[in-house]
Amino acid sequence: MKIENIELRRVHIPLVRPFRTSFGTSIAREITIVRVKTADAEGWAECAADTRPLYSSEFLDGSDLVIRDHLIPRLQALGDRLTAERVAGALEPVKGHTMSKAVLETAILDAQLKETGVSFGGYLGAVHDTVPAGVSVGIMDSIDELLEAVAGYLEEGYLRIKLKIEPGWDLEPVRAVRERFGDELLLQVDANTAYTLADARHLARLDPFDLLLMEQPLTEDDLLGHAHLARRITTPICLDESIESARDAATAITLGACSIINVKPSRVGGYLEARRIHDVAAAHGVPVWCGGMLETGIGRAANVALAGLPNFVLPGDTSASNRYYAEDLTAPFVLENGHLRVPTGPGIGVEVLPDVLAGVTASVTEIRF
């Protein structure tokens, strides 16, 4: 595939409401959108890195620099031999920077599939036309505010509620939601590494609430700690930040550090590695679900396609567009009986809205091949 140029476009998009986790509070998303242009197609992807290195060591300004000065030159060296399947191997000498690698691989894959008329879902192996949608509920200022938010999401049709937790905001919000909405509600929690193994006795107090899972309670590099915690609580442990590759997934499963995996393509280097994690987990009988990084419709389209694979058996954080944005960069994703439809058009299957994109663009950098 011959690439003519790659464009890095920085955009600023306000969130419809603040989103608070144990890392901090976001009121807007600042994103680098990558466009890959060939003679016959345009490929699009968005970088999931935040402006600050809090969720991971990557951050947006650093990602732009790595993409421009270290990753793209390695892709240029491939010339006409460049394909999405060769991106990971070409970029492997650059250590880490999985989100930066992921956005390039995804944009190139989008362009490649558009040239051949194949959808993301068809390429990855999706077996479902729609996928069940859950919603992630941030940390609130009060229990009343939380209950009102959860009620609203359930009224919209979301099939699963995920509560962000941290020390001091865990037992009471979970108890309140369970008591208000009953035992049939699919409910899980996400700690984003906010606890230590010393908190095991406290975390065990969440067991009576019959949660689907407890996501990433300990730091990402503490697989043994998660394995110890899994033996001390009955709530299933799900790993997120700890899993950056299929090898990580196999190691965590073998150690007993998790019984569920949250697959975030941007965190693991792209959708090809995400598919390998899906396959490894399936081979071990471990279910997976698709996590979210407050994506616009560009990233959401590809995530929904991935969530159509057979071992994605739990509702993901593939929420509708209006969960985060009053106006999306693509036609909005809309809930249909608690599900999102898997796009069937070539590539990611959605078109970027040029007027909306132009209205939120802060800067554009073009790199010619």
Phi then psi dihedrals of residue 277, to 5 deg:
-65, -45
- Quick one: which of 294, 208, 273 has its CA closest to 23? 294
Alpha carbon distance 290, 305 (integer Å): 10
CATH entry 3.30.390.10 includes domain 3-117+353-368:
yes
Residue 38 forms beta bridges with which residues?
3
The domain segmentation of the chain, as residue ranges, is 3-117+353-368, 122-341
Contacts of 51 (CB under 8 A, 6+ apart): 30, 59, 60, 61
Whether residue 164 lies in the annotated active site: yes
Q: What is the DSSP string of 226-244?
A: HHHHHTT-SSPEEESTT--
On whether the CB atoms of residues 140 and 149 are closer than 8 A, the answer is: yes
Residue 136 forms beta bridges with which residues?
162
On whether the CB atoms of residues 164 and 216 are closer than 8 A, the answer is: no
Set 37, 101, 162, 164: catalytic member: 164
- Quick one: which of 290, 258, 296, 259 has its CA closest to 275? 290
Which pTM does this prediction carry?
0.95
Phi then psi dihedrals of residue 330, to 5 deg:
-130, 175
Alpha carbon distance 354, 33 (integer Å): 13
Residue 42 forms beta bridges with which residues?
37
Going by their DSSP bridges, the two strands 134-137 and 42-46 should be labelled as unpaired
Set 37, 101, 114, 264: catalytic member: 264
Whether residue 2 lies in the annotated active site: no
Q: Is 176 helix (H, G, I), strand (E, B) or coil?
A: helix
Beta strands in 39-147 (DSSP E): 42-46, 130-132, 134-137
**What is the residue-level pLDDT of the chain in tens, covering all 369 positions?**
899 999 999 999 999 988 878 777 788 899 999 999 999 999 999 999 999 998 899 999 999 999 999 999 999 999 999 999 999 999 999 999 999 999 999 999 999 999 999 999 999 999 999 999 999 999 999 999 999 999 999 999 999 999 999 999 999 999 999 999 999 999 999 999 999 999 999 999 999 999 999 999 999 999 999 999 999 999 999 999 999 999 999 999 999 999 999 999 999 999 999 999 999 999 999 999 999 999 999 999 999 999 999 999 999 999 999 999 999 999 999 999 999 999 999 999 999 999 999 999 999 999 998
Distance of CA 36 to the CA centre of its chain: 21
What is the predicted pLDDT for the residue at 369? 87
Alpha carbon distance 135, 287 (integer Å): 18
Q: What is the DSSP letter of 311?
A: T
- Say which CATH topology domain 122-341 has: TIM Barrel (3.20.20)
